Chains A and B, each alone.
Chain A
């Protein structure tokens, strides 16, 4: 009996190895060389090629606008028989829902969305955890107590990041305020830079951001201010200003998804991994003083251990209302639909 089981296993594994390679496609919202969001997803794709070798074939398309345009692209891959298709921007949601229903034989994974179908799953990272950690650094490093935050769109993902960052700032520096300017773009280096400059003009001495390009970091560098990046290690773009960045690391997760698809164990789950899962982390540069870095690392450990949550109460919103009392923290549903700012944020949700 045991022998038969072993034999079948060997057969299955052999079959898997000899089968045609899994065709995997990635759809990016910005150029693959944006140095941020899309670059990090592409790193994940390259990780797949390294790990699986001949077992996978990967393709990608860059700069696909959100909305109905994307639908043609998803269809295009599905029509050509791609087995696994990753969409890496929120605005692809409707297109992916529609196309996944039309092509039940392909598997779809949507980053940052919330709708699923039988063959469409979602995935995202708890970026608010490293955001909180970067807020600690910002709070400790600012001198003017004005911290600038260039943010893309007033959507829950971004608002959550701002709030987590502000919670971190508040933790070490209750006097500092986080000033938010909306750039209304995911990727437009010129606009991102202008927005950062407008914050520097009002006295910000530290700039952080939530878009896909390193332009805000460069703006800070040009003015001799400090900066905290996003997505990846951006020190190459701003060597004298770059303190830290909450970063993405998609490789292990993509490997996990591909393995599930190959082995037939994929489910349409809604994956939301944190620092402990390796999807997100904080990158700290040498410019951060040792004491601060140590604090950040110990807080990181506390988050991994589940001892600390960035939104541990008491949390007040901008109107002064108590959102979470001592000992309370938001549920995942509340985090996913966050549409208010905490009290040390200056700015409005449009």
Chain B
């Protein structure tokens, strides 16, 4: 009897559900062992450590997903991840690797601030104001992505490097403005712009724990789903993504598609930045995003670039972030351990994806001895 690992020709459909579920379960299990060791070290008693580990798990899983407060926190963490993830999917479908979601998010936030505090400061209608800021934020994200798009289309530069570098440029722009020209004159010189006026804030629900930006993200996902499935753009971008030569052969302008894909991708991320400003932040500060633009890369991938799945994965990741906060706040877990856990989840997901491409075969025949 022999056991052999073979590459699968097609990855079975059920694996797209099963793999993430099993991977997360594996990560939880591995984390459980680490937590057990950690709590045992703290409590010095194995049964207490077991109970503490169990409680910590319960906390991490129930609070973000099964508690009224927790779900709102999860949803709010989800919104920026969803926006950037959706934006990235637009480019990734064509195998254009936009790593600049973070920078595009920042530029969207920057433009939203410009609109709210300077450009549209005389606008009094909240609806008009919010629409104008959204457009401005999307435009800024789009223009920020236009730079690598033009460089890729006409000079064949690698968009991965350019988009990544532009993230830092965007972050420094924001820093420059909040420490310099845009510093709130009433802020005692502290860095940070003035707060957004009321008409530039999204409506909130439930004691300000939830803002309507969530619905914008959901609507956007539905629109993108339709675009990918049912429009000429969606079909053609699939061709470009699968075989750029065949796209040229089909009369598709690669230059045009490259530019549009990156610009729209950046615009969606930029809109996310504007929504984050209008919904939660209300004041541009250093450290606007804790790396949503990078986490969203993983979100987009795990969702296999499907817009609806991106919402779900972003929700899960939002919950993971919230759950981690809970662990840290109420079980005094060190920050480093939380990072270990996030790493474990990612590692098992990616590992699971890779393993799903193979299968084990058990063959009954005897191995030949002269091998």
Contact = CB atoms under 8 A, between A and B. Distances in A.
Interface centre among A65, A76, A338, A350 (most CB of B within 10 A): A76
Contacts of B326: 76
Contact of B283 (A59, A94, A336, A350): A94
Interface string A51-71: 000000001111101111101
B208 interface: yes
B162 to A, nearest CB: 24
A94 B277 CA distance: 13
A153 B183 CA distance: 13
B80 to A, nearest CB: 9
Interface stretch (B8-16, B32-40, B96-104, B189-197): B189-197
Contacts of B180: 350
- Taking residues whose C-beta sits less than 8 angstroms from the other chain, chain B's interface range is 35 or more
Interface in A148-192: 153-156, 159, 184
B16 to A, nearest CB: 31
A156 B77 CA distance: 32
A285 B96 CA distance: 59
B190 A155 contact: yes
Contact of B191 (A63, A98, A154): A154
B76 interface: yes
Contacts of B73: 72, 75-76
A66 B286 contact: yes
A156 B329 CA distance: 31
B340 to A, nearest CB: 14
A250 interface: no
A73 B330 contact: no
A337 B188 contact: yes
Interface residues of A, number: 39
B230 interface: no
Contacts of B282: 94
Interface in B326-371: 326, 328-330, 332, 334-335
A67 B179 contact: no
Contact of A73 (B190, B281, B329): B329
Interface in A87-111: 90-91, 94, 98, 101-103
Interface centre among B190, B195, B322 (most CB of A within 10 A): B190
A338 B335 contact: no
A68 B189 CA distance: 20
Given A102-B207, A114-B188, A337-B189, A61 B285 contact: no
B52 interface: no
A156 B325 contact: no
B287 A61 contact: no
A254 B134 CA distance: 44
Nearest to B207: A102
B209 A102 contact: yes
B188 A61 contact: no
Nearest to A103: B207
Interface of B: 69, 73, 76-77, 175-176, 179-180, 188-191, 195, 207-209, 276, 280-283, 285-288, 290, 322, 325-326, 328-330, 332, 334-335
Interface of A: 25, 31, 59-63, 65-69, 71-73, 75-77, 79-80, 90-91, 94, 98, 101-103, 114, 153-156, 159, 184, 336-339, 350
13 contacts: A31-B334, A59-B330, A65-B290, A67-B286, A68-B281, A72-B325, A77-B329, A94-B195, A94-B283, A114-B190, A156-B190, A184-B175, A337-B189
Report the 5 A-B pairs with minimum CB-CB distance, sorted nearest first: A337-B188, A339-B189, A63-B335, A102-B207, A79-B69
Given A31-B335, A59-B330, A69-B290, 4 more contacts: A61-B325, A76-B326, A79-B69, A336-B188
